[in-house]
Amino acid sequence: MTRYWWVNHKQTVRQEIAGNYLWSPKAEANGVRSQFYDNLRIAEPGDFILSFASAEISFIGQVADFALSSPKPEEFGSVGIYWNREGWLLPVMWKSIPNPISPQHLLPTIAALLPPKYSPIHPRTGRGNQKAYLAEISHPLFSAIIEHAHITEKELADEMAGLSQASFHSFSERLELAVEETIISDPSLGSTEKEQLLKARRGQGVFRANVGRIECGCRLTLIRNPKLLLASHIKPWRSCTTSLERLDGNNGLLLAPHVDLLFDRGLITFTDDGDVIVSSKLSSSDVDQLGLAGACRKNSGKFLPAQKLYLQYHRNVVFIP
């Protein structure tokens, strides 16, 4: 079901609009979690977002993909230097509104529609709630506002469909390229290690050999033919913070290509005991058509303690519940 959201951009509005995303830290600077940040993990492809900055709503967005874990985009520069480094990046397609809307002027109409908790603006003053970032709003509030912009939801959806897709793939590719550059220019790494780290991005080389010493085949399809298996990172290559993590055989599984895609996109994960957990976002008919319905109900085998550390990351950060 489509959800509706309202974002109070911070200083990074220009980067977020131009870059087709929203980004937030995962927690406040003091480590406390915030619903306004957690909401980036809850937003789903197809959801609509009102973009509020400088007291006006000037853009409407549609979520293009699930959020992925990402460091603060470099283009933010020193803005938000106190934010927690690891955050959520939500791919969003933005469309500008010809005549920006002032929610303050619409207060008589919309005040009663604002959420009682986690409201993005104050119901009496119309000013932005300082703490708010991404706030869920009701469909009636969303409708009331776009009506003032003389846009229908149908028109919005049609226009969005014509925009080039901001996708998980495009952002993970950018993050990986940024990591590659960091590796290539790291003076503390030798050329052999650099090559090993770069090959590991594609599940090749030393990383693959290391995984092969721990896993003997695909845990779901039971395939053992190496030509049909990919070496997949449990904690994604782009999210690893050390060379050790990127090359660690315990941070990998050998998976058939379709299982690899589901695991990589967070559509399946594993319990420490080896049971398969299927995301609520993966339809049972897709699981059926992939021929994985039986395998998803079975135990896939125990994990080693060292694998469990990486699996915990996968469940918490990569998996889409």
**CA separation for the pair 260, 237 (Å, rounded):** 14
User: What is the smallest separation between the CB atom of 206 and a copy of itself, expressed in angstroms?
Assistant: 9
45-to-96, 166, 211, 270, 285 alpha-carbon distances in Å: 19, 11, 33, 24, 19
Stretch that binds a copy of itself, among 71-79, 152-160, 231-239, 284-292 (CB under 8 A): 284-292
Interacting positions 235-264 with a copy of itself (CB under 8 A): 256-258, 260-262
Coil, helix or strand for 245?
A: helix
Nearer to a copy of itself, 11 or 289 (CB): 289
Residue 113 found at the interface with a copy of itself (CB under 8 A): no
When binding is defined by CB under 8 A, the residue of 46, 77, 291, 321 that contacts a copy of itself is: 291
Question: In this chain, which of 95, 228, 271, 312 binds a copy of itself, going by CB under 8 A?
Answer: 228
Backbone region of residue 55 per phi and psi (left: phi > 0; alpha: psi in -120 to 50; beta: other values)? left
> CB of 163: closest distance to a copy of itself in angstroms?
12
Q: Which is nearer to a copy of itself, 40 or 259 (CB)?
A: 259
- Cβ neighbours of residue 240 closer than 8 Å, sequence gap 6 or more: 233, 246, 251
Stretch that binds a copy of itself, among 9-17, 79-87, 236-244, 282-290 (CB under 8 A): 282-290
Interface with a copy of itself, residue 283, by CB under 8 A: yes
For residue 17, give Cα distances in angstroms to 73, 76, 136, 162, 166.
13, 12, 19, 17, 12
**204 near a copy of itself, judged by CB under 8 A:** yes
> What's the min distance (Å) between Cβ of 258 and a copy of itself?
4
**Cα within 13 Å of Cα(161), Cβ side:** 6
Query: Distance between CA atoms of 238 and 254, rounded to whole angstroms?
Result: 18
Q: Provide the binding-site residues for a copy of itself, judged by CB under 8 A.
A: 164, 169-170, 173, 202, 204-205, 218, 221-223, 225, 227-228, 256-258, 260-262, 265, 283, 286, 289-292
